[in-house]
A and B are shown apart, each in its own frame.
Chain A
Amino acid sequence: GESVGLHLPTLSVQEGDNSIINCAYSNSASDYFIWYKQESGKGPQFIIDIRSNMDKRQGQRVTVLLNKTVKHLSLQIAATQPGDSAVYFCAENYNQGGKLIFGQGTELSVKP
């Protein structure tokens, strides 16, 4: 069946280190992927997205990598800060009118 899953449910890093959050997806027809950040008590906030015709996209301190061969998505956060502490979700879309399929989430904890 369809699923988007994460390899690691929790990740703890030191402030200033780089963080890598991974995600596996099962639907090879997926053509659009998004990373969301969710802080406690808030709705998810868009971080970065990538289309299936790309393998890398960079934003401010964040990079998303897409490996379609192994159906893997990752989010890299450079110089992680305490404000980056949150739950991170990957989501996929496969041309169903914007319906997003979310993964289970990874909780990132940044130690000062």
Chain B
Amino acid sequence: GAGVSQSPSNKVTEKGKDVELRCDPISGHTALYWYRQSLGQGLEFLIYFQGNSAPDKSGLPSDRFSAERTGGSVSTLTIQRTQQEDSAVYLCASSWTSGMNNEQFFGPGTRLTVL
């Protein structure tokens, strides 16, 4: 079956512009996660959704970052007034439900470059 998909695969933007990153989880998965991976680094948790609710937003770096999920499926991560330090690969994952023992399946990521 189809895995997690993300779009765009690459995004180049200018400092100060807003960007939207999209994640389509595996069908039927109720939990959805956003992570950020800087060059040569591990993954940094940003936010997760259980259904349309976001119980944990603790990883969002600043109020320029926001995410929403509608219909319990697609999620959008929005970064306003982008800065160069926002450049990273943004990874989305989904799982049947949240919590331990639920394997998270990752998408290929969106590579964001802020000039």
Contacts and interface: CB of A to CB of B under 8 A. Distances in A.
Nearest to B102: A98
A7 to B, nearest CB: 14
Most central of B44, B45, B100 by chain A CB within 10 Å: B100
B43 interface: yes
B93 interface: yes
Contacts of B93: 43
Contact of B42 (A32, A93, A102): A102
B13 to A, nearest CB: 20
- How many chain A residues sit at the interface, stated as a range, is 20 to 34
Contact of A44 (B41, B45, B100, B106): B106
A31 interface: yes
Interface string A78-112: 00000000000101010111111111110000000
Contact of A98 (B41, B59, B104, B109): B104
Contact of B99 (A4, A45, A97, A103): A97
Contact of B101 (A32, A41, A43, A97): A32
Interface stretch (B14-22, B48-56, B63-71, B78-86): B48-56
Given A93-B100, A98-B99, A102-B44, A44 B55 contact: no
Interface string A7-39: 000000000000000000000000110101000
Given A43-B109, A104-B42, A105-B42, A99 B56 contact: yes
Given A89-B42, A100-B45, A105-B41, A43 B91 contact: yes
Interface residues of B, number: 31
A51 B102 CA distance: 12
Contact of B98 (A98, A102, A105): A98
Nearest to A31: B100
A60 B93 CA distance: 24
Interface of B: 4, 31, 33, 35, 40-45, 48, 50, 55-56, 58-59, 91, 93, 95, 98-109
